[in-house]
Structure 1
């Protein structure tokens, strides 16, 4: 039986730039980094080492070459915070593209984009 979501694969054009985005702008930590020396490299990031779910940054071109039929689109991820307005302001101050804070039936949300214009969302934890 499946007990939890462990990792989410995000396929990017520039892994080093993506690592900088997630660590420097979002405050995530690098959990692991692997490179087989033959082009297969991945960088695992998460909000903390104790997080149950992490993001694995893969080289989009390399994965497309290995698995031509694989869907390399950006997953729709919803993060959760108890400091929505502070996070929104912090990201805007770091020149991250952020959307407006919008009220929803489940709480307020906003979206943000990484440096490759992949969009993600953040929901306020009530």
Structure 2
């Protein structure tokens, strides 16, 4: 039986720049950075997170599997330091959207270095 999401694949044009974005701007940790033949895997996650993202080379994966959907997954991250995170991302020159009030909490989106958008929701531990 499936009991959790382990990894989310994120297909990017420049793995090194994307790794720098996630580690330097968002504080993610590199769990694994491995090259196996022509394929490089970079696994990243927030400290202590159960789910990680894996950066894959979009061009290489498209050549290996032309029918694969290489679109950006719609990811929602949670934080218990919503206002602080919003300020930090803004101060780090990251594109952030307006804060929106939803029935289940506040949310905003942000863009990575390749203009893929993700969301952040206020959620206590």
Superposition TM-score, scaled by structure 2 size: 0.97
CA distance in 2 between partners of 1:17 and 1:106 (Å): 34
**Alpha-carbon displacement from aligned partner over 1:11-43 (angstroms, at most 9, x marks no partner):** 000000000000000000000011013x20010
Q: Runs of 4 or more off by more than 2 Å in structure 1?
A: none
Deviations 1:79-121 (A, max 9, x none): 0001111101100100000001110011000000001000000
Structure-2 residue corresponding to 1:17: 17
User: What RMSD in Å do the two structures reach over aligned CA positions?
Assistant: 0.7
2:98 and 2:49 mapped to 1: Cα distance? 27
Post-superposition CA distance 1:21-71 (Å, at most 9, x none): 00000000000011013x2001000001x3210000000000000000000
Instruction: Give the equivalent residue in structure 2 for 1:78.
Output: 76
Q: Secondary structure at the match of 2:11?
A: strand
User: Following the alignment from structure 1 to structure 2, what is the Cα–Cα distance between the partners of residues 73 and 88?
Assistant: 25
SS state at 2:43 partner: strand
Alpha-carbon distance between aligned partners in 1 of 2:24 and 2:78, rounded to the nearest angstrom:
19
Partner Cα separation in structure 1 for residue 106 and residue 86 of structure 2: 11
Query: For 1:11 and 1:110, how far apart are their aligned partners in 2?
Result: 22
SS in 1 for 2:101: strand
